[in-house]
């Protein structure tokens, strides 16, 4: 675990330094020095190889450090969002950990929330909740109402005179 914390500490320091103005200034000065030295080295293949090799190595290593930092930041943001979802009485707790869903499952959720957004735009009350749970409750009420109507319809048809009563 000590090695991991050393790597994490080193990665954080390097990415912080790499994104600083002094690091940019140093990189700019190196590129300028390389460019100015071109005539001295007669723009040789070795002269070009120096900058190509240096930038390739730095880029290769930075990709891993930046990805590590981005993964950590994304995880921290997800945890913060999960806390907000869990703390809000109007939000659906089903949204916690949706980052583990597949791309297709996220697309389905996106379409659903687009529909909720459209409904919210038409609503006069900006404080009205439009969540999965609220939508499910509304759907349950609609289903119960439809079930009740379907149960009543056959009785109503039997009492009605005409061709439908002979069924």
Question: Domain coordinates of the chain in residue numbers?
Answer: 2-87, 102-167
Residue 129: CA count within 13 A, CB half-sphere = 13
pLDDT 10s digits, 103-133: 998 888 888 888 877 777 777 766 666 666 6
Instruction: Give every CB contact of residue 89 below 8 A, 6+ residues apart in sequence.
Output: none
pLDDT 10s digits, 88-104: 877 777 777 788 889 99
- Binned at pLDDT 50, 70 and 90, residue 63 comes out as very high
């Amino acid at each position: 675990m000590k090695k991991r914390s050393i790597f994490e500490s080193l990665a954080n320091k390097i990415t912080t330094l790499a994104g600083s103005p002094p690091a940019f200034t140093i990189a700019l000065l190196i590129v300028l020095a390389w460019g100015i030295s071109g005539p001295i080295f007669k723009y040789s293949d070795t002269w070009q190889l120096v900058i190509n090799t240096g930038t390739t190595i730095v880029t290769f290593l930075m990709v891993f450090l930046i990805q590590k930092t981005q993964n950590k930041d994304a995880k921290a943001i997800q945890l913060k969002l999960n806390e907000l979802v869990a703390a809000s009485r109007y939000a659906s707790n089903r949204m916690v950990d949706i980052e583990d869903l597949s791309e297709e499952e996220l697309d389905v959720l996106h379409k659903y929330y687009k529909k909720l957004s459209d409904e919210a735009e038409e609503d006069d009350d900006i404080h009205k909740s439009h969540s999965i749970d609220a939508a499910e409750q509304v759907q349950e009420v609609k289903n119960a109402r439809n079930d009740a109507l379907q149960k009543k319809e056959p009785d109503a048809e039997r009492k009605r005179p005409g061709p439908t009563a002979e069924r």
